[in-house]
Amino acid sequence: PQPWLPGPVSPPAACRGLAASAPRCTTDPLWKCRAKYTVRPVGMKKTGGRDHTGRLRVRGIGGGHKRRYRMIDFQRLRYEEGAPPEPFTEKVINVRYDPCRRVRSAGSADIALVAGGNRKRWIIATENMQPGDSITNSPHIGRMAVSANEGDAYPLGALPVGTLICNLESHPGKGAQYIRAAGTCGVLLRKVNGTAIVQLPSKRQMQVLETCVATVGRVSNVDHNKRVIGKAGRNRWLGKRPHTGLWHRKGGWAGRKIRPLPPMKSYVNLPRVKAMD
C-alpha cells in the first residue's frame, strides 16, 4: 500500500546531532513523519513563518490557537487493500469544522468523516452534506453521462457537461489539488476526444484527461467570504500577526487590472493537440 506521505521527511544531517558547519535546523518537521493514515487528529508544531534554517521567511504568521491536524484523503478513489477497483459507496458519519483549513487565502472548508468497508477517512465536505448521506465513488466512464448526486466522485468523462465540480485532479490518481477552498466550484465546459475542459473559479480554463476524478457540487461553508472578522483579536486567534504600520506609496502592482484571460492550461501531453481556444 502507498505510504501516506512520500516517506518520512528526513531532516538535514545537521539536526541529527552531528556538529557540522551546516546551519542547524531549529524546527524539525518531525511531526510530519507519519507514514500510516489515521483518522485521529495528530498534534502539529507551528512554524511561525520560519523555515528550516530558523530565520523568518514569511511575515505575519505566529501565535494563534493550537490546532491538531486531521489527515485528509484527497484521492477519492483510494481503494482499501485487497479491494477490487470498482465503484463503492461510503457513508458520511460526521461533518465538522477543520481548524487547519484557515489559511489566509483559502477558506475554511468543512471536513467530513466518511466510512466505507473497513476504513474511515476524512474528505472535504461539499455543500449540503449531512451525516447519514451515502456517497459513491466510481472509476468507470460509460457511454452516457451519469446523473450525479452532490458529493459523489466520478471521472470527468462520466459527468454531464455543465456540472459544478470541486476537488479536481490535474493528473489521474494524483489527488485533488484544485478547487478546494470554501464555497468554490468549477464548471465542466466541454469534453473533447479523451480530454475535458474545466473552468476554474478564477475563470481560467484547464484541460485535463477525462479519467481525472472530481467530486460533484460546491465545497462546503459557502458563506465564508461574507463573514466579518470584527476585531483585531480574531485575526490573532487565526495566527495572523499585524502588518507593518509604515506608509508606502503604492506602485504599479496595486489596483484593479483589466486584462485578457491567460491561455488555457493543458495538463495533457498529446503530441499535437487539436483546435482549442
Partner 1 sequence: CFPGVRQAQWLTKTKLVEGLPPAVQGIMDNPDLGLQELEERAKHAVSHARLWDTAEVAPRREQYCPVLFENLIHICRLMSGKYPSLSKRMLARNCRIAATWERESTLLQVRGLSGILMNSKTPIPPVASKEEILATKAHVLETFYPIAPTIDLQEVNVYKELNDTGKSSCFRDGYPYSHPHTLFFLESANVRTDRFRPEQLRAKMLMFAFGNALAKAKALHGNDHKVLEQPVVVQSIGTDGQLFQFMVFQLNTTDLVSNDGVKNLVWIESDQNLYEKAQCVPEVKKGVVLKPAGISGFQPDTFKKFLALYLHGTV
Binding site for partner 1 (CB under 8 A): 88-91, 93-94, 113, 115-120, 134
Least CB distance to partner 1 at residue 127 (A): 22
Bridge partner list, 136: 89
How large is the greatest C-alpha to C-alpha distance in the chain, in angstroms?
Answer: 64
In the bound state with partner 1, the residue whose beta carbon lies nearer, of 30 and 93, is 93
Q: How far apart are CA 3 and CA 34, in angstroms?
A: 9
Return the H-helix or E-strand segment holding 234.
Answer: helix 232-237
Least CB distance to partner 1 at residue 92 (A): 11
In the bound state with partner 1, the residue whose beta carbon lies nearer, of 10 and 130, is 130
Cα 249 to Cα 81, 243, 255: the distances in Å are: 59, 15, 12
Cα 241 to Cα 44, 52, 110, 205: the distances in Å are: 19, 20, 24, 35
In the bound state with partner 1, the residue whose beta carbon lies nearer, of 14 and 71, is 71
In the bound state with partner 1, the residue whose beta carbon lies nearer, of 112 and 208, is 112
Least CB distance to partner 1 at residue 94 (A): 6
Bridge partner list, 127: none
Least CB distance to partner 1 at residue 85 (A): 16
Cα 211 to Cα 90, 152, 218, 266: the distances in Å are: 21, 15, 20, 14
Least CB distance to partner 1 at residue 88 (A): 7
Least CB distance to partner 1 at residue 93 (A): 5
Taking alpha carbons only, the member of 98, 94, 267, 105 closest to residue 196 is 267
Return the H-helix or E-strand segment holding 235.
Answer: helix 232-237
In the bound state with partner 1, the residue whose beta carbon lies nearer, of 120 and 236, is 120
Residue given cell 495538463 in the structure block:
267
In the bound state with partner 1, the residue whose beta carbon lies nearer, of 94 and 266, is 94
Reduced to 3 states (helix: H, G, I; strand: E, B; else coil), residue 118 is coil
